Amino acid sequence: MLERLDAMERRLEVLDRQLSDPDVVSDPTQLRELSREHADVSDVVTAYRAYKGLIAERAGAREMVEEEEDPELRRMAREEITALDEAIDTAKAALRLKLLPKDPYEGRPLMLEIRAGTGGDEAALFAADLYRMYQRYGERHGLRFAEMEISPGSVGGFKEIVASVTGEQAWHRLRFEAGVHRVQRVPATESQGRIHTSAATVAVLPEPDEVEIDLDMKDLRIDVMRASGPGGQSVNTTDSAVRIVHLPTGIMATCQDEKSQTKNKAKAMRVLKARLLAKAEEEAAAEGNAARRAMVGSGDRSERIRTYNYPQNRVTDHRIDLTLYKLDRIVDGDADELVDSLTAAWRTAQLETMGEAQGAS
């Protein structure tokens, strides 16, 4: 670990010089990439230098114990060593966390897909509740939502909704939400007051960089049609709706909420690329991508991950066996405890994976 940290310290010195180079400053792409790397490396190196400072302080305290003649000063030095040992252990653990492989999609925008599952009309209403929960949670963390595809339910809610989510923390805050969300409650559509169970599926798809998904236009079928729906600003009477089908995989994306065909096409293309990247990730995971398996849960939208029990005001995340009796606050966007617990579990899994890898090498 120390060799890697020393190398990062040297790399930071190189980055400092590069970022002051006029040729780099005048190149926005290179400047952005180097600035991002500088921020990552600087974060680790700052912690490493603090760690080295603690080591130096402990060495000085030990020297005092060995050389100081005053018993009281030796006693104070030994107490200082004890405190420094604890601080060093804490700093070392923090450094190990900072050295964990970064999620490649950290900082990326994403596509959030929510689909009504089993439960009929109640599932569509629950899908809308989930979407509002994510919106309210996103507001607390500076995330912005823009609807890309909407298929309304027959009595309200959504059969399906796809939204673009942007903001520096979008992936960090929502990456563990993929899977089946189950709700237990008395539906608004139920007159007998019986508790029903229904479900909605959530997918969280990072938007790819241009180099990650290179589409050949010959592989695409682009259909233009008249927008349909209950009316409103997003639906009109011109042929503006666009559906794009990726012929090799059959994956498709549709958008009709803009009046402009060009804008709908651009939105549909973004959704399609995100879905294609997700498919590529699934295939990589199936081939044994250990880094992705270290995530909490599989990320598979068929995996039941959470239950929302309204009568008991209870939310249970089945992946980490966490139960919180504050459903009302969570659906109102106060979900930090839930998300932070998932993140902590993921980091623990990563540390275990890293430890196994080091032990095998």
CATH number at residue 249: 3.30.160.20
The answer to the question of residue 295 being in a domain is no
Task: Note whether 219 and 198 are within 8 A (CB).
Answer: no
Based on the domain organization, do 24 and 67 belong to the same domain? yes
The least confident of 67-76, 127-136, 156-165 is: 67-76
Q: How many CB atoms within 10 Å of residue 171? A: 20
DSSP state of 34: H
Average pLDDT for the chain: 86
**Per-residue pLDDT tens digits for 102-117:** 778 888 899 999 999 9
Quote the pLDDT of residue 236: 47
Q: Which of 125-129, 242-246, 253-257, 330-334 has the lowest mean pLDDT?
A: 253-257
Phi then psi for 219, rounded to 5 degrees? -90, 0
**Which of 68, 98, 128 is the endpoint of a domain?**
98
Residue type, 79: E
Does any domain span residue 291? Answer: no
Residue 179's pLDDT is what? Answer: 93
The more confidently predicted of residues 168 and 190 is 168
pLDDT of residue 226: 73
Question: What is the pairing mode between strands 179-185 and 304-309?
Answer: parallel
Residue 219's identity, in one-letter code, is D
Measuring CA to CA, which residue among 316, 339, 302, 318 is closest to residue 178? 302
301 found inside a domain: no
Dist. CA 71–CA 342, nearest whole Å: 50
Do 36 and 73 sit in the same domain of this protein? Answer: yes
What is the Cα–Cα distance from 180 to 117, expressed in whole angstroms? 8
pLDDT of residue 159: 94
Average pLDDT over residues 4-26: 92
pLDDT at 234 over 50: no
Q: pLDDT band for position 228 (50/70/90)?
A: low
Instruction: Quote the distance between the C-alpha of residue 265 and its chain's center.
Output: 26
Token code pair at residue 237: 């009477």
Claim to verify: residue 271 and residue 137 sit in the same structural domain: no
pLDDT for 85: 94
Do 53 and 198 reside in the same domain of the chain?
A: no
Question: Where does 20-156 have alpha helices with state H?
Answer: 22-25, 28-67, 71-98, 121-140
Do 312 and 185 reside in the same domain of the chain? yes
Q: For residue 305, what pLDDT band results from cuts at 50, 70 and 90?
A: very high
Please state the domain count of the chain.
Answer: 3
Q: Are residues 13 and 93 in the same domain?
A: yes
Is residue 312 scored above 90 in pLDDT?
A: yes
- Reported as a single tens digit per residue, the pLDDT across 259-302 is 788 888 888 888 999 999 888 877 776 654 444 444 444 444 55
**173 shares a domain with 310:** yes
| Residues making up the chain, counted from first to last | 361
Give the C-alpha separation, 270 to 230, whole Å.
25
| Residues 321 and 351 both lie in one domain | yes
> What was the pLDDT predicted at 238?
60
Q: How far apart are CA 174 and CA 13, in angstroms?
A: 34
CATH number at residue 24: 1.20.58
CATH number for the domain that contains residue 158? 3.30.70.1660
Residues 258 and 311 in one domain: no
Q: Does residue 48 form part of some domain?
A: yes
In a domain, 123, yes or no: yes
Q: What is the pLDDT of residue 296?
A: 42
My answer on whether 115 and 204 are in the same domain is: yes
The sheet carrying 179-185 orders its strands as 144-152, 158-166, 110-116, 196-206, 179-185, 304-309, 314-317, 322-324
Strand order in the sheet with 220-225: 220-225, 241-246, 251-255
Query: Which residues 6+ apart lie within 8 Å of 182 measured at CB?
Result: 197, 198, 199, 304, 306, 307, 308
112 contacts 206 by C-beta, under 8 angstroms: no
Question: For residues 253 and 149, is the Cβ–Cβ distance under 8 A?
Answer: yes
* Domain that includes residue 158, residue range: 110-211+306-360
In this prediction, residue 295 carries a pLDDT of 41
Same domain assignment for residues 179 and 312: yes
Lowest-confidence range among 97-101, 146-150, 167-171?
Answer: 97-101
pLDDT band at 232 (very low <50, low <70, confident <90, very high): very low
* pLDDT score, position 1: 78
Looking at the fold, whether 335 and 244 belong to one and the same domain comes out as: no
Percent of the chain with pLDDT over 90: 54
pLDDT score for 117: 92
In the prediction, which pLDDT does 278 show? 85
* Stronger pLDDT, 323 or 213, i.e. the higher one: 323
